[in-house]
Amino acid sequence: MDDRIFWISLIISVVSGLIIGIIVGLFLPLTAGVFITALIGAFLGMIIGIIIGTILKLKNSQSKKDKYKL
């Protein structure tokens, strides 16, 4: 379960970084600023992915607790 959340967050971070990098790359020439922007995008994507993964994990553990109550 934990491995899957890790890989999902990693994939989200890579994809979001690529998307932001491509969008910025279309409008600006490839410079250090573009590279930094892509890194920031990947970092933000990673944080968002971790938050989503944590929420999904909490929901799963909550549903397991509900099953045990019944």
In a domain, residue 50? The reply is yes
The two three-digit tokens of residue 29, written as one number? 């020439």
Residues 19-61: tens digit of each pLDDT: 777 777 677 666 667 677 777 777 777 777 778 777 777 777 7
CB atoms within 10 A of CB 15: 14
In a domain, residue 33? The reply is yes
In a domain, residue 21? The reply is yes
In a domain, residue 70? The reply is no
2: confidence class by pLDDT, cuts 50, 70, 90: low
Domains identified in the chain, total number? 1
How far is CA 13 from each of CA 18, 28, 44, 51, 64, rounded to the nearest angstrom?
A: 9, 22, 7, 12, 28
**Model pLDDT, residue 19:** 78
CB atoms within 10 A of CB 17: 20
In a domain, residue 10? The reply is yes
Nearest CA to 48 out of 1, 3, 5, 2 is that of 5
Say what the pTM is.
0.46
Domain boundaries, position 36: 2-61
